[in-house]
Structure 1
Amino acid sequence: MRLDQINILQGDAFVVSDRQGDINPAANVPDGLFYRDMRHLSRWQLRLNGHQLEALSADNLEYDEVVFFLIEPTGTIYRNPSLSVTRRRAVATGMQERITVHNFGNTPVAFELTMIFDADFADIFEVKDQMSKTGHLYRHRRDGGITLGYSRADFRRETHIDAPGAFVTEESLTFRYELPPGQEWGIDIQIRVGVEVDAALQRRQHHPDMPYSIREWLDASPILDTDWDDLLHIYNRSLLDLAALRFYPFVGDRASLPAAGLPWFMAVFGRDSLLVSYQMLPFHPELAYTTLRALAERQAIHEDDHRDAEPGKILHELRNGERAHFGERPQSPYFGAADTTPLFLIVLDEYERWTGDTQTVQDLEPAARAALRWLETYGDPDGDGYIEYQTRNPRSGLVNQCWKDSWNSVVHPDGSLAKLPRATCEIQGYAYDARRRTARLAREVWNDPGLAERLERDAEELYRRFNTDFWLPDLGYYALALDGDKKPVTTLTSNIGHLLWSGIVPPERVDALAALLCGPRMFTGWGVRTLADGQPAYNPLEYHNGTVWPHDTAIAAAGLARYGHRDEANQLAMGLLQAGHHLRHRLPEALAGYPRKNTLVPVLYPTACSPQAWAAGAPMMLLRMMLGIDPEPDTLAVRPHLPEDLRRLALHGVRFRGARVEALAGTAAHDLDRLKPVPGARELQ
Structure 2
Amino acid sequence: MDPSAAASLNTGYVLKDGETFVVANRQGDIEGGADGHFHNDTRMLSRFRLNLGETSPVLLSSYVTRDNVFFVAHMTNRLLPPLGGTSTGEGLVYIKRVRFLHEDRMYERFKLLNYGSEPAHVPLCFEVAADFADMFEVRGSTRQRRGELLPVEVLEHGQVFRYRGLDEQLRTSCVTFSDLPDHVGGSEANFVVTLAPGARRVMFVEVGSEQAPADRSRFRAAAAQARKRMRLRNRRSARIHSEGPLFNDWMERSRADLTMLTSELDTGPYPYAGIPWFSTPFGRDAVITALQTLWLDPQLACGVLTFLARHQAQEESSFMDSSPGKIMHETRKGEMSALGELPFGRYYGGVDTTPLFVGLAGAYLERTGDLALIESIWPALEAATAWIERVCDANPAGFLDYARGETSGLSNQGWKDSSDSVFHADGRSPQGPIALVEVQGYAFAALRAMAAMARMRGAEAKADAWAQRAERLRTEVERRFWMADSNFYGIAIDGAGELCAVRASNAGHLLYSGLPDSERAAAVTTQLLDAPFFSGWGIRTLAQDQAHYNPMSYHNGSVWPHDSAICAAGIAAYGPRSGAVRLLRGAFEAAVHFNMRLPELFCGFPRSHGSAPVAYPVACLPQAWAAGSAFMLVQACLGITIDGAQSEILLDRPQLPVGIDEIVVRRVPIADTHVHLVLKRLNERVGVFVEGPGTDSVSVRIKG
TM-score by length of 2: 0.90
Report the equivalent of 1:649. 663
Counterpart Cα distance in 2 of 1:7 and 1:574: 27
Superposed CA deviations along residues 134-161 of structure 1, whole A, max 9, x for unmatched, are 1100122233222111112422311011
- 1:74–1:80 CA contact under 8 A, matched in 2: yes
Say which SS state the counterpart of residue 160 (structure 1) adopts.
Answer: strand
Say which SS state the counterpart of residue 394 (structure 2) adopts.
Answer: coil
* Pairing 1:305–2:318 present: yes
Counterpart Cα distance in 2 of 1:7 and 1:151: 27
Give the one of 63, 68, 72 matched to 2:73.
Answer: 68
Report the equivalent of 2:219. none
- 1:285–1:351 CA contact under 8 A, matched in 2: yes
- Single out whichever of 175-184 and 459-468 deviates more from structure 2: 175-184
* Pairing 1:271–2:284 present: yes
Report the equivalent of 1:35. 39
Say which SS state the counterpart of residue 470 (structure 2) adopts.
Answer: helix
- Single out whichever of 260-269 and 101-110 deviates more from structure 2: 101-110
Counterpart Cα distance in 2 of 1:438 and 1:658: 25
- 2:679–2:689 CA contact under 8 A, matched in 1: no
Change beyond 3 A, Cα 1:65–1:213: same
Counterpart Cα distance in 1 of 2:682 and 2:135: 48
* Pairing 1:392–2:396 present: no
Say which SS state the counterpart of residue 306 (structure 2) adopts.
Answer: helix
Superposed CA deviations along residues 401-446 of structure 1, whole A, max 9, x for unmatched, are 10001111112234332221110000000000110111000011x2
Letter of the structure 2 residue corresponding to residue 156 of structure 1? L
- Single out whichever of 167-176 and 627-636 deviates more from structure 2: 627-636
Cα distance, 1:361 vs structure 2: 0.5
Change beyond 3 A, Cα 1:401–1:598: farther
- Single out whichever of 209-218 and 359-368 deviates more from structure 2: 209-218
Change beyond 3 A, Cα 1:70–1:298: same
Report the equivalent of 2:247. 231
- 2:392–2:398 CA contact under 8 A, matched in 1: no
Letter of the structure 2 residue corresponding to residue 249 of structure 1? L
- 1:33–1:42 CA contact under 8 A, matched in 2: yes
Cα distance, 1:358 vs structure 2: 0.7
Report the equivalent of 1:203. none
Counterpart Cα distance in 2 of 1:599 and 1:488: 40
* Pairing 1:94–2:108 present: no
Change beyond 3 A, Cα 1:150–1:669: farther
- 1:296–1:314 CA contact under 8 A, matched in 2: yes
Counterpart Cα distance in 2 of 1:472 and 1:177: 73
What does 1:568-587 correspond to in 2, within 5 Å? Answer: 568-587=579-598
What does 1:512-661 correspond to in 2, within 5 Å? Answer: 512-597=523-608, 600-632=611-643, 634=646, 635-639=648-652, 640-661=654-675
Report the equivalent of 1:242. 258
Report the equivalent of 1:200. none
Say which SS state the counterpart of residue 110 (structure 2) adopts.
Answer: strand
- 1:480–1:495 CA contact under 8 A, matched in 2: yes
Report the equivalent of 1:202. none
Counterpart Cα distance in 2 of 1:143 and 1:565: 69
* Pairing 1:18–2:28 present: no
Cα distance, 1:675 vs structure 2: 6.7
Say which SS state the counterpart of residue 387 (structure 1) adopts.
Answer: coil
Change beyond 3 A, Cα 1:549–1:671: closer
* Pairing 1:185–2:189 present: no
Report the equivalent of 2:273. 260
Unaligned runs of 5+ in 2: 1-7, 82-87, 212-224, 698-704
- 2:562–2:625 CA contact under 8 A, matched in 1: yes
Report the equivalent of 1:464. 475
Counterpart Cα distance in 2 of 1:558 and 1:15: 34
Counterpart Cα distance in 2 of 1:379 and 1:242: 35
Report the equivalent of 1:342. 355
Counterpart Cα distance in 2 of 1:232 and 1:682: 29
What does 1:97-246 correspond to in 2, within 5 Å? Answer: 97-129=108-140, 131-132=142-143, 134-138=146-150, 139-153=152-166, 154-164=168-178, 165-166=180-181, 167-193=183-209, 213-246=229-262
Cα distance, 1:599 vs structure 2: 6.6
**CA-based RMSD:** 2.4
What does 1:287-436 correspond to in 2, within 5 Å? Answer: 287-378=300-391, 380-382=393-395, 384-394=397-407, 396-436=408-448
Change beyond 3 A, Cα 1:361–1:212: farther
Letter of the structure 1 residue corresponding to residue 311 of structure 2? R
Superposed CA deviations along residues 68-89 of structure 1, whole A, max 9, x for unmatched, are 111111299x954322222111
Change beyond 3 A, Cα 1:341–1:75: same
Letter of the structure 1 residue corresponding to residue 665 of structure 2? L
Counterpart Cα distance in 2 of 1:322 and 1:380: 38
Cα distance, 1:221 vs structure 2: 3.1
- 1:35–1:94 CA contact under 8 A, matched in 2: no
Say which SS state the counterpart of residue 347 (structure 2) adopts.
Answer: coil
Counterpart Cα distance in 1 of 2:377 and 2:348: 19
- 2:680–2:688 CA contact under 8 A, matched in 1: no
Letter of the structure 1 residue corresponding to residue 206 of structure 2? Q
Letter of the structure 2 residue corresponding to residue 412 of structure 1? H
Change beyond 3 A, Cα 1:672–1:607: closer
Letter of the structure 1 residue corresponding to residue 18 of structure 2? G
Counterpart Cα distance in 1 of 2:289 and 2:507: 20
- Single out whichever of 380-389 and 108-117 deviates more from structure 2: 380-389
- Single out whichever of 660-669 and 149-158 deviates more from structure 2: 660-669
- 1:377–1:383 CA contact under 8 A, matched in 2: no
Report the equivalent of 1:438. 450
Counterpart Cα distance in 2 of 1:598 and 1:54: 35
- Single out whichever of 333-342 and 141-150 deviates more from structure 2: 141-150
Change beyond 3 A, Cα 1:273–1:330: same
Unaligned runs of 5+ in 1: 196-208
Say which SS state the counterpart of residue 377 (structure 1) adopts.
Answer: helix
Say which SS state the counterpart of residue 139 (structure 2) adopts.
Answer: helix
Cα distance, 1:285 vs structure 2: 1.3
- 1:86–1:100 CA contact under 8 A, matched in 2: yes
Counterpart Cα distance in 2 of 1:677 and 1:322: 53
- 2:77–2:90 CA contact under 8 A, matched in 1: no
Letter of the structure 1 residue corresponding to residue 97 of structure 2? R
Change beyond 3 A, Cα 1:409–1:213: same
Counterpart Cα distance in 1 of 2:39 and 2:139: 16
Counterpart Cα distance in 1 of 2:245 and 2:474: 43
Count of residue correspondences:
661
Superposed CA deviations along residues 9-51 of structure 1, whole A, max 9, x for unmatched, are 22321111112221113xxx31111111111111111111232
- Single out whichever of 478-487 and 9-18 deviates more from structure 2: 9-18
Cα distance, 1:682 vs structure 2: 14
Letter of the structure 2 residue corresponding to residue 83 of structure 1? V
Change beyond 3 A, Cα 1:403–1:516: same
Counterpart Cα distance in 2 of 1:682 and 1:565: 31
Superposed CA deviations along residues 472-522 of structure 1, whole A, max 9, x for unmatched, are 111111110001111000111000100100011011212211110000000
Counterpart Cα distance in 1 of 2:448 and 2:532: 33
Identity, % of aligned positions: 34
Letter of the structure 1 residue corresponding to residue 336 of structure 2? R
- Single out whichever of 113-122 and 564-573 deviates more from structure 2: 564-573
Counterpart Cα distance in 1 of 2:156 and 2:146: 30
Say which SS state the counterpart of residue 172 (structure 2) adopts.
Answer: strand
